[in-house]
Amino acid sequence: MLVDLHTHHRNRSQCAKDDEEDMIQSAIERGLDGIVFTDHGKFVPKKRLTELRKKYPKICLWSGIEITTCEWCDFVVIGLRDKCLEYDIPQSVHDLKWTADELIKYVRKKGGWIHLCHPSFQNGLMPPAMMERRAPYAIEMRSNTIPEHQMHDIQDMALIWGCRLVAVSDAHDVNGLGRYAVRLNGRVRTERQLINKLLRNEYTLKLGEENEGIS
């Protein structure tokens, strides 16, 4: 079951180009079996999610969110719809209320999934303070925003932190979908089942069109 854990939609992400229905249709055409909506600071409204699930029964649609923390790190959270995770697009770093450590602690305690997005900074390193703290469950190793040459450093980082790797699209338009994703062993339906699969490490990474199956 091919799943994209990180996607953006014009309906809620200003930086995204395509509408959620175009994204869903394109995901189906590209062979994805499930996508997670992870717009910046915004959940898909519950009613809308129900409508979309009814309209597109061929694909699993799950609720997530992307959150920027005070350290200017981005995390994807799946399986929680807590109001305290939502926010408006920040004007400056002072508008960001979560620290990475507090966010990771909160999500883990509440039983959600959390992974670090595109972990490279301009100098290619994570802020040292973050390395000493609690780790998220996984780090994105490859996406449309993570170049191939960074994969090695990200793998090392995951080893140091003791966390897994995921591949995602981080797509902001239909063209970005499908190339990078996770392939789950077996099928899931609910967000809980998806999270459990990820936690049990029952997946491999899709890293491009030919080079598949690296776990």
Q: Considering only residues 5 through 24, tell me which ones interact with Zn ion, judged by CB under 5 A.
A: 15
What's the min distance (Å) between Cβ of 170 and Zn ion? 4
Please identify which residue in the block is written with the tokens 């999610």.
49
Q: Which is nearer to Zn ion, 15 or 125 (CB)?
A: 15
Helix axes 20-29, 46-55, angle to 10 degrees: 40
The CA distance from 12 to 59, in Å, is 20
Name which position in 18, 20, 39, 170 contacts Zn ion (CB under 5 A): 170
The CA distance from 174 to 24, in Å, is 9
The single-letter code of the amino acid at 147 is P
The single-letter code of the amino acid at 20 is E
Q: Which is nearer to Zn ion, 20 or 170 (CB)?
A: 170
What's the min distance (Å) between Cβ of 147 and Zn ion? 16
What's the min distance (Å) between Cβ of 181 and Zn ion? 14
Q: Which is nearer to Zn ion, 170 or 191 (CB)?
A: 170
The CA distance from 174 to 29, in Å, is 10
What's the min distance (Å) between Cβ of 106 and Zn ion? 20
Give the binding range for Zn ion (CB under 5 A) out of 58-66, 79-87, 106-114, 151-159: 58-66
Beta strands in the chain (DSSP E): 2-7, 34-37, 60-68, 74-78, 113-116, 138-142, 164-167, 180-184, 203-207, 212-214
Residue 160 touches Zn ion, criterion: CB under 5 A: no
What's the min distance (Å) between Cβ of 40 and Zn ion? 6
What is the binding site for Zn ion (CB under 5 A)? 15, 66, 170
